[in-house]
Structure 1
Amino acid sequence: MAKVAVVFHSGYGHTLRMAQAVADGAGAELVPIDAEGNLTDAGWATLNAADGIIMGSPTYMGSVSWQFKKFADASSKPWYSQAWKDKVFAGFTNSATINGDKHSTLHYLFTLAMQHSGIWAGTGMLPNNAKAAQRNDVNYLGSSAGAMAQSPSDASPAEMPQGDLDTAKLFGKRVAEVAAKFSA
Structure 2
Amino acid sequence: MSKIAIVFHSGYGHTQRVAQAVADGASAELIAIDADGNLPEGGWETLAAADAIVFGSPTYMGGPSWQFKKFADASSKVWFTQGWKDKLFAGFTNSASMTGDKGMTMASLWTLAMQHSGLWISQGLMPANTKASARDAINYVGSYGGLMTQSPSDASPAEMSKGDLETARVFGERIAAVTTSRAA
TM-score (norm 2): 0.98
The 2-side partners of 1:179 and 1:73 are apart by: 26
Question: Could you say which residue in structure 2 is the equivalent of 1:48?
Answer: 48
Question: Could you say which residue in structure 2 is the equivalent of 1:34?
Answer: 34
Matches within 5 A, 1:77-156: 77-156=77-156
Question: Could you say which residue in structure 2 is the equivalent of 1:18?
Answer: 18
Q: Which secondary structure state, in structure 2, belongs to the residue aligned with residue 59 of structure 1?
A: strand
| Deviation at residue 77 of structure 1 after TM alignment | 1.1
The 2-side partners of 1:43 and 1:182 are apart by: 24
| Deviation at residue 40 of structure 1 after TM alignment | 2.3
Question: Could you say which residue in structure 1 is the equivalent of 2:166?
Answer: 166
| Superimposed CA distance per residue, residues 24-83 of structure 1 (whole angstroms, 9 cap, x where no aligned partner) | 000000000000000123111110000000000000000000000000000011111111
| Deviation at residue 183 of structure 1 after TM alignment | 2.5
| Deviation at residue 135 of structure 1 after TM alignment | 0.2
Q: Which runs of 5+ in 1 are unaligned?
A: none
The 2-side partners of 1:80 and 1:61 are apart by: 29
Question: Could you say which residue in structure 1 is the equivalent of 2:71?
Answer: 71
Kindly provide the amino acid, as one letter, of the partner of residue 54 in structure 2.
I
Count the aligned residue pairs.
184
Tell whether the 8 Å contact from 1:82 to 1:116 is kept in structure 2 after alignment: yes
TM-score (norm 1): 0.98
Q: Which secondary structure state, in structure 2, belongs to the residue aligned with residue 93 of structure 1?
A: strand
Kindly provide the amino acid, as one letter, of the partner of residue 10 in structure 1.
S
The 2-side partners of 1:183 and 1:115 are apart by: 22
| Deviation at residue 2 of structure 1 after TM alignment | 1.2
The 1-side partners of 2:179 and 2:74 are apart by: 24
Kindly provide the amino acid, as one letter, of the partner of residue 121 in structure 1.
I
Kindly provide the amino acid, as one letter, of the partner of residue 67 in structure 1.
Q
Q: Which moved more, 1:56-65 or 1:35-44?
A: 35-44
Tell whether the 8 Å contact from 1:87 to 1:179 is kept in structure 2 after alignment: no
| Superimposed CA distance per residue, residues 126-161 of structure 1 (whole angstroms, 9 cap, x where no aligned partner) | 001111000000000100011111000000000000
Kindly provide the amino acid, as one letter, of the partner of residue 146 in structure 2.
G
| Superimposed CA distance per residue, residues 153-177 of structure 1 (whole angstroms, 9 cap, x where no aligned partner) | 0000000000000000000110111
Q: Which runs of 5+ in 2 are unaligned?
A: none
The 2-side partners of 1:183 and 1:10 are apart by: 30
Q: Which secondary structure state, in structure 2, belongs to the residue aligned with residue 41 of structure 1?
A: coil
The 2-side partners of 1:46 and 1:175 are apart by: 17
